[in-house]
Structures are given as C-alpha cells and as structure tokens.
C-alpha cells in the first residue's frame, strides 16, 4: 500500500502540540479500532460524535493514574528492550497520507534504521494470554498495522509488562496485507459516514450533546388523599387528586421512542402501582367508617381503575415498544445495506454476497442506544465488506477495459469478477494468449487453403493453356499442310499435260489430294449426339467433344481462306458433303 508525504514530528506525547497534531489528521492509530467497531473502550458511534463535535469525555483521576502508570512502565520496558537488542529505540510521531486518508501513529519506539517498531501495553490477564497464544485481538492489530504502514518498519515488538523482566511478555508482529486493506476500507467508510453525520447535526436531525447515562426523570407523586367526616358528609381533596391522577394517565399514553422515554415509563409504572395500593386501602378504610358514602367510594374506584389500566397499558407498551423499535432498527439497517448492494450489483453486473446479522448484533442489548450503536457497527462492517468487494471488482473491470478488443473472452464476468487481482490478471493474460494462438492457427489454415486453391487454379490454367497451345499448333500445321497442297496444285496446273500424265502414274493428282483432305475432315471422329426436335433446344458437349468440333471448324475455315472453293474438285467435294 503506497504511503505519501510521510513526516516524522518531534513532539512529546501528551503535550498540547501533540494533541493539536492529532486533531489535524483523519485518524490516529489508537482510534482505528473504535472506527472499525472493535474497541473495548469506545463505540463507533461515540467516536463519530466526538469527531463531529470535538467534544471529548473528561479524563477522570482514576484514568489519569492508569495512564501515568502506563507511561512509567513503558519507559522501563524500553530500556530493557534496548539492552536486549543492543541498539537504541526512540519514541516518535509520524504522519502520512494513504488512500485519501491522513493518518497519524505515535510509536513507543523505533530503531535508528527504522526496521523494528516497539509498542508497549500494561499487562492484564487477557492480553498476556493473547500474547502467549500468539493471537492478539484486532484492537491491537489495527493499531500496529497503522504504525508499520507509516513507519515502514518490517515488524513490531509488542510487549506487555510492568517495566520489569519478571513480568515480561512479548510478541513479534508482522504486517498483514488482508488486515491493512480491511482497515483502510473501514476508515474510508467511517469518513464517509462522518460527513453524513455532520450534515445531520447541522440540520438538527441528531442531538449535538453527548448522551449521558439515562436516568429516569422524577415523576411527581400523586398527592396524599385526605378526608374528614362531617356528619353524613365527607370533605376531601379527592377532586384535586383525581385531576392529578388523570393527568398522569394521559402522560402515560405517550409513544415511547428513546431510552429516556423508557426510563420515565418504568418509573411511572412504579408510581401507578403505589397509587393503586393506596387507593385500595383508602376504599376499605372509608367503607369501614361510613358505608353510606357511595360517591366517595365510587370516585376512589374510578380513579383506581384508571390508574390500573394506565399501569397495565404502560407496562405492556414498554415491552412491546422495545420489540417494535428493535424490528424498526433491524429493518432500516437491512433496507439500507440491501439498497447499497442492489446499486452495486446493477453498476458492476455481478452479484455481491454481503452478510450482516443485525438481529444477532442487538442480542442481549438492554437499552435502545446500545442497540442503535450495535446495529450501526454491524452496518458499517457490511458497508466495509461491500466496499472491499467493489474495489476488487473495479480493479478487475479496469484491467478488462485495458484489453477492450478481447472483451468477448470474458462473457463469464459474473463468475470471475471477484478473483484476486493477481489471479485475475493471470487469467486475462492466459485467455488472450490462447485466443491469439488459436486465431493464428486459424489464419494459417486459411492462408494454406488459399495457397492450395491458387496452386490448383494455376495447375488447371497451365493444363488449359497447354491444350490451347496444342490445338493452335495442330491448326497451324493443318493450315500449312493445306497451303502446301494448294501451292502444289497450282504448280501442277502450269506443267505440260504429258508431265501431269506421267506424274499421275506415279502419285495421286492434286484433286485426289484435296479429296483426301476433305475425306479426312469428313471421317474425323466426332462424338455423336441426338438432334433436338426443336431448333431452340440446347445440347450438351464434353470439353473434349467441343475441342474436336472446334478443331475441324478451324480446319474448314483454313481451307476456305486458302481458296479451296476455286479448286477444280470443289464442286464434286461439296456434292459429296451434301450427299452425306
């Protein structure tokens, strides 16, 4: 965890300068456990009120003596530890900033190289047992975490002693990353809640006075009933008593909200019970003296019944209203944390699993304020847990956004969102690497397919080109042959008849040669096909059949180009074609 603006202050603990420095920061190391709701000396609500108002409880003479003994034990213990370590320890006060919080820690000692911190406590059975079990309460752990965070020390020597080696108990404490993250999250939540609390104070929504121990208000007792017999008549102060009693009955109908209300109600129940007893005795006394005085007795009975009903109702309200308030407090806290969870789920598109046992938190609490305080601490812990989970999810989400082009690889976001940052980053790296490898393999296969298709296409084109060249060569050779025949035929026409006759006895005539060429063209094999019954019907030819047909057509065109229609045997040849 990065800490900035660290400063070492040369101030002595307990001086006005030291107190002023403590008031200038967000949290001191000794306040952390109260802010996180685990201090045995101060509740979270009490610390909230102190920081909001600046009003702190006065230190009693008994507490001052305890503090003085603690400082004396600390001085002796530091000397003992220096002797054991063989180096000096100097007390110091350090401030620094971390995660938007200004923090302060007063160390009982720090080695000159800053490697080892020293924290001393007066001994008691609980802390001594914890040291020997090597498991301190978080009340102490949080204090040392802040000391180590600001000092940069590698460990803290935690000692509980009375300044003597005979009663010496020590433990080496090392930083706990998970605990310090929880501490910082809790302090941030407290700071947010403090701002809200200050706003409520300014708006008059909460009392600005610190809340003393609740003591029932003095309930003015009903006046004593006096009467005097005057013959058959009775003179008394019953009307005054009746008015006072009914007024008290009306007061008992007030809805109970605060611990003060409950204390007053319980006191009023006692007044009513006493009045009931007195009225009962008074009725019997008057009846014993004057049986005929009906009105007086009826009034006594009426007043007594009203008081009894008021007592019963008030006693019932005390019990039922406490249950109602418990339910209200629990449901309000549940509603608040559920609302925060719902907002977080919607924002990050994941399901946050936060547990808070508000009913368990108030179990055994005897008054409303202690219930409110316990629920406040449980709610704060739930908010802290939610904040920690949100930080994890936000960190992972930011990492995914750095690789936005691969967002499709994380469609299981709701499953992996809560992984620790290191594990999540490793998962992202692995998935992207595997995707790139698979994509490269796919592209290589695609390139290979294209290369193969191009090779096959080139081979086919080469074969087709070879066929065309062979056909063209055959056509050229046929044309040359035809021209040679025509040339020879022309030369033959200019020779003497006897030479022609003589030649005819030795070789075929030019006309016979032309007939032979035509015969070759006519007799060349051509794939047979059926004629379509209609002239507009299509026929199908194989490529070989098509090439043969085109070869003969080219041969015929070559013959015409060479003037075959001027040959002396042309008419005869055409007749032969028509006959065929």
Cα(342)–Cα(344) distance, integer angstroms = 5
Confidence check: pLDDT of 234 > 70: no
Cα(78)–Cα(157) distance, integer angstroms = 11
- Identify the DSSP state of 162: S
pTM of the model: 0.53
Task: Please tell me the predicted confidence (pLDDT) of residue 294.
Answer: 60
What digits encode the pLDDT tens for the residues 444-497?
999 999 999 999 999 999 988 888 888 888 888 877 877 776 677 666 555 554
Give the pLDDT mean for 219-228. Answer: 60
Residue 111, strand partner residues: 89
Confidence check: pLDDT of 227 > 70: no
Give the pLDDT mean for 226-253. Answer: 69
E strands, 223-337, are 227-230, 233-236
Task: Determine how β-strand 116-121 pairs with β-strand 155-161.
Answer: parallel
Residue 573, strand partner residues: none
Structure-token pair, residue 147:
């000391």
Closest of 522, 506, 511 to residue 555, by C-alpha: 522
Confidence check: pLDDT of 517 > 90: no
Residue 346 falls in which region: left (phi positive, over 0), alpha (psi -120 to 50) or beta: alpha
- Identify the DSSP state of 216: P
Mean pLDDT of the chain: 80
Edge to edge, what strands does the sheet with 155-161 contain? 109-110, 116-121, 155-161, 168-173
Confidence check: pLDDT of 115 > 60: yes
Which of these ranges, 28-32, 153-157, 207-211, 555-559, has the smallest mean pLDDT?
207-211
Higher pLDDT, 549 or 140: 140
Give the pLDDT mean for 378-391. Answer: 90
What digits encode the pLDDT tens for the residues 350-370?
989 888 888 888 888 878 888
What digits encode the pLDDT tens for the residues 165-196?
999 999 999 999 999 999 999 999 999 999 98
Closest of 206, 209, 203, 237 to residue 223, by C-alpha: 237
Q: How confident is the model at residue 518 (pLDDT cuts 50, 70, 90)?
A: low
Task: Please tell me the predicted confidence (pLDDT) of residue 540.
Answer: 73
Task: Please tell me the predicted confidence (pLDDT) of residue 164.
Answer: 94
Q: How confident is the model at residue 4 (pLDDT cuts 50, 70, 90)?
A: very high
- Look at the chain and count its residues: 580
Q: Which segments of 402-420 does DSSP mark as H helices, in order?
A: 413-416
């Amino acid at each position: 965890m990065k800490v900035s603006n660290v400063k070492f202050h040369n101030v002595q603990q307990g001086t006005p300068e030291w107190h002023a420095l403590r008031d200038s920061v967000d949290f001191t190391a000794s306040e952390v456990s109260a802010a996180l709701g685990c201090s045995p000396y101060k509740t979270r609500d009490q610390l909230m009120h102190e920081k909001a108002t600046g009003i702190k409880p006065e230190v009693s003479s008994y507490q001052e003596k305890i503090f003085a003994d603690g400082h004396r034990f600390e001085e002796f213990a530091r000397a003992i530890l220096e002797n054991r370590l063989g180096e000096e320890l100097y007390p110091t006060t350090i401030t620094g900033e971390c995660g938007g919080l200004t923090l302060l820690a007063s160390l009982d000692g720090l080695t000159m190289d800053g490697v080892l911190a020293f924290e001393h406590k007066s001994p008691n059975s609980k802390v001594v047992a914890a040291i020997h079990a090597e498991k301190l309460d978080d009340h102490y752990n949080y204090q040392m975490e802040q000391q180590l965070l600001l000092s940069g020390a590698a460990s803290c020597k935690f000692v509980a002693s009375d300044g003597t080696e005979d009663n010496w108990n020590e433990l080496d404490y090392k930083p706990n990353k998970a605990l310090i993250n929880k501490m910082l999250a809790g302090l941030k939540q407290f700071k947010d809640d403090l701002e809200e609390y200050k706003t409520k104070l300014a708006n008059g929504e909460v009392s600005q006075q610190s809340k003393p121990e609740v003591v029932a208000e003095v309930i003015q007792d009903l006046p004593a009933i006096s009467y005097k017999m005057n013959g058959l008549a009775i003179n008394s102060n019953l009307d005054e008593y009746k008015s006072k009693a009914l007024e008290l009955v009306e007061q008992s109908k007030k809805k109970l909200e605060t611990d003060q209300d409950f204390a007053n109600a319980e006191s009023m129940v006692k007044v009513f019970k006493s009045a009931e007893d007195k009225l009962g005795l008074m009725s019997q006394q008057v009846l014993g003296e004057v049986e005929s005085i009906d009105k007086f007795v009826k009034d006594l009975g009426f007043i007594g019944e009203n008081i009894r009903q008021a007592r019963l109702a008030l006693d019932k309200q005390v019990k039922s209203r406490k249950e109602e308030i418990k339910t209200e407090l629990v449901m309000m806290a549940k509603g608040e944390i559920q609302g925060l969870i719902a907002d977080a789920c919607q924002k990050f598109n994941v399901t946050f699993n936060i547990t808070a046992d508000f009913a368990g938190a108030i179990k055994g609490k005897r008054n409303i304020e202690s219930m409110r305080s316990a629920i406040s601490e449980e709610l704060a812990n739930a908010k802290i847990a939610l904040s920690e989970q949100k930080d994890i999810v936000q960190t992972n989400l930011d990492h995914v956004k750095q690789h936005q082009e691969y967002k499709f690889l994380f469609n299981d976001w709701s499953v992996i969102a809560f992984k620790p940052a290191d594990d999540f980053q490793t998962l992202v790296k692995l998935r992207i690497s595997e995707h790139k490898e698979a994509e490269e393999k796919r592209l290589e296969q695609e390139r290979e397919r294209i290369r193969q298709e191009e090779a096959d296409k080139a081979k086919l084109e080469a074969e087709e080109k070879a066929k065309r060249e062979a056909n063209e060569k055959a056509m050229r050779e046929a044309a040359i042959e035809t021209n040679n025949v025509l040339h020879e035929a022309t030369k033959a026409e200019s020779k003497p008849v006897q030479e022609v006759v003589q030649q005819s006895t030795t070789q075929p005539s030019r006309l016979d040669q032309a007939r032979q060429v035509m015969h070759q063209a006519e007799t060349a094999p051509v794939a047979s096909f059926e004629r379509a019954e209609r002239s507009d019907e299509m026929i199908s030819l194989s490529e070989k059949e098509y090439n043969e047909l085109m070869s003969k057509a080219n041969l015929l065109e070559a013959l015409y180009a060479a003037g075959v229609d001027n040959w002396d045997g042309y008419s005869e040849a055409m007749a032969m074609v028509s006959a065929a």
